[in-house]
């Protein structure tokens, strides 16, 4: 897919936030359903939650964003800062895109934009 500018990545994140929120909710539902004895249902509901999670995660990746973590949810947007390849980094709980890290450093090298 190409690189995201910061403004493009922030706009894409704004569009993705409802999807990401649904992933977080369904992840919790699926965990509860997997244990069994849940008021949410049984195996059919678990399978449905898994299928929906797959759909949502594919939707995120179709944007060109990279889904890097599931618990916690972590999404990276390939970009450049001062000509250096970076990933604009969103972590579950963030409501905006305010972090990045060099591609060779990963999450441990996360810095504020």
Q: Can you give the pLDDT at residue 45?
A: 94
The Cα–Cα gap between 24 and 99 comes to 20
Average pLDDT over residues 6-24: 97
Q: Can you give the pLDDT at residue 85?
A: 95
Question: pTM of the full predicted structure?
Answer: 0.91
Could you tell me the pLDDT band of residue 2, with boundaries at 50, 70 and 90? confident
Q: Can you give the pLDDT at residue 50?
A: 96
The Cα–Cα gap between 40 and 26 comes to 11
Report CA torsion sign: 33, 36, 40, 43. Answer: positive
Could you tell me the pLDDT band of residue 36, with boundaries at 50, 70 and 90? confident
pLDDT above 80 (res 1)? no
Q: Can you give the pLDDT at residue 15?
A: 97
CA angle centred on 108, ends 103 and 111, rounded to 5°: 75
Over the stretch 86-102, which tens digit does the pLDDT of each residue have?
A: 999 999 999 999 999 99
């Amino acid at each position: 897919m190409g690189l995201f500018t910061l403004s493009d990545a922030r706009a894409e994140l704004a569009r993705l936030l409802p999807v990401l929120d649904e992933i977080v909710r369904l992840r919790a539902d699926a965990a509860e359903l997997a244990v069994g004895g849940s008021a949410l249902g049984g195996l059919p509901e678990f399978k449905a939650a898994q299928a929906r999670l797959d759909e949502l995660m594919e939707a995120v990746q179709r944007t060109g964003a990279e889904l890097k973590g599931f618990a916690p949810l972590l999404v990276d947007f390939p970009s450049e800062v001062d000509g250096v390849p970076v990933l604009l980094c969103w972590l579950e709980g963030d409501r905006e895109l305010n972090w990045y890290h060099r591609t060779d450093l990963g999450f441990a090298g996360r810095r504020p934009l």
